[in-house]
Amino acid sequence: MEVYGLIGNPVGHSLSPPMHEAGYEALGIDAKYVTFEPPADEGAAAVDAADRLGVAGLNVTIPFKQDVMDAVEPAPLAERIGAVNTIDFSGEVPRGYNTDAVGAVRALSHHGVTLDGTAVVVGAGGAGRAVAFGLADEGMAVEIANRTASKADALADEVPGASGHGLDALADLLSTADVLVNCTSVGMDEDATPVPAEALHGDLAVLDAVYSPIETRLLRDAGAVGATTVDGAWMLLYQGVEAFERWTGEDAPVDAMNEALRAGL
Ligand code: ATR
């Protein structure tokens, strides 16, 4: 039996165990997915320990995504993002990946969104970094808007072809944009949105990284003007799907994993 897992602190409410185990069950893979909660300063040591214990793969969440970089050989995209959320122990050395970036790309693709033209990424924290690099890698022109404009500028300096802005630029940026991704935590309060409703239009595809609540104010506003809407559970699903496929080498049973994930939300 293979053991996969998640390290984070806290990890109590993670939906990754039921999502991955639904995938193993659907494909008849003999594996378990367990959660580990090491102390906040022991991320790299925990990865080392998992490697020695024969764990096959680990997902990594807050607060360890940066620290574990020291314990793995990061893939080029993870290296540029500066964060690892998936570790594969099957090779000589543990390999680190960032499937958050690909998760956003695959969530949009699943909904028929073509990834060309311009994407506006709202937020310049960990999620914003991953999504900005992911969409730029797909060839999109990326505009980053953040409450603290200097952080958007600093991120834009690293992402090829990107520019940084304050939130006051959103209406202008969105008038010609194709894709909008909210990577701030605004929206967890169900009446709050980081984007004025008047700035939205029907030619946009809008992905909200917030998945609790599943239907955020931003997605409601976007749906009301006829935009394509993609909720945060799709991004959570596809970061897991991408990890599952790296670890098992199989095409993930996306429907089974999606059903298990949504049942837990
Ligand atoms: P994550 O890892 O989820 O991206 P983070 O790194 O803490 O979390 O980043 C949070 C993001 O949400 C930041 O872009 C933050 O903006 P600042 O850089 O200006 O702090 C944004 N954010 C949080 N609360 C916000 C609010 N009330 N209004 C606008 N943006 C907010």
- Structural contact between residues 174 and 182, judged by C-beta atoms closer than 8 angstroms: no
Could you give the dihedral angle defined by the CA atoms of residues 73, 77, 80 and 82, in that order, rounded to the nearest 10 degrees? -60
* Distance from the Cα of residue 57 to its chain's centroid: 18
pLDDT confidence band for 79 (50 / 70 / 90): very high
* Closest to 193 (Cα-Cα) out of 149, 165, 223: 223
Could you read off the pLDDT of 31-77 as tens digits, one per residue?
999 999 999 999 999 999 999 999 999 999 999 999 999 999 999 99
| pLDDT for residue 242 | 98
| pLDDT for residue 218 | 98
Was 61 annotated as part of a binding site?
yes
> Ligand 1 pocket: which of 60, 98, 147, 167 to mutate (most atoms <8 Å of CB)?
147
CA of 58 to the centre of ligand 1 (A): 26
| pLDDT for residue 228 | 98
Closest CA to ligand 1's atom 25: 186
CA atoms within 13 Å, Cβ hemisphere of 263: 11
| pLDDT for residue 184 | 98
pLDDT confidence band for 90 (50 / 70 / 90): very high
| pLDDT for residue 215 | 97
Was 239 annotated as part of a binding site?
yes
Helix (H) or strand (E) holding 27: helix 16-27
| pLDDT for residue 264 | 96
Percent of the chain with pLDDT over 70: 100
Interface ipTM above 0.95? yes
| pLDDT for residue 141 | 98
Using CB distances shorter than 6 Å, the residues near ligand 1 are 123-128, 146-148, 151, 183-186, 194
| pLDDT for residue 9 | 97
**Residues 192-214: what's their mean pLDDT?**
97
| pLDDT for residue 43 | 97
| pLDDT for residue 112 | 98
C-alpha distance from residue 137 to each of 52, 133, 163, 254 (Å): 34, 6, 15, 23
**Residues 166-192: what's their mean pLDDT?**
97
Is 65 among the catalytic positions?
yes
- Average pLDDT over the chain reads 97
**Residues 224-229: what's their mean pLDDT?**
98
Was 124 annotated as part of a binding site?
yes
Q: Which residue in 50, 64, 65, 236 is the catalytic one?
A: 65
| pLDDT for residue 74 | 98
pTM: 0.97
CA of 183 to the centre of ligand 1 (A): 8
| pLDDT for residue 179 | 98
CA of 37 to the centre of ligand 1 (A): 24
> Ligand 1 pocket: which of 184, 211, 212, 235 to mutate (most atoms <8 Å of CB)?
184
Return d(Cα 45, Cα 58) in angstroms, integer.
13
| pLDDT for residue 24 | 98
Looking at the CA of residue 192, tell me the nearest atom of ligand 1: 27
Looking at the CA of residue 62, tell me the nearest atom of ligand 1: 2
- Give the DSSP per-residue string, 146-166: -SSHHHHHHHHHHSTT-EEE-
Burial 44-60 (b: 16+ CB within 10 A, else e): bebbbebbeeebbbbbb
| pLDDT for residue 18 | 98
**Residues 228-232: what's their mean pLDDT?**
98
CA of 131 to the centre of ligand 1 (A): 14
| pLDDT for residue 154 | 98
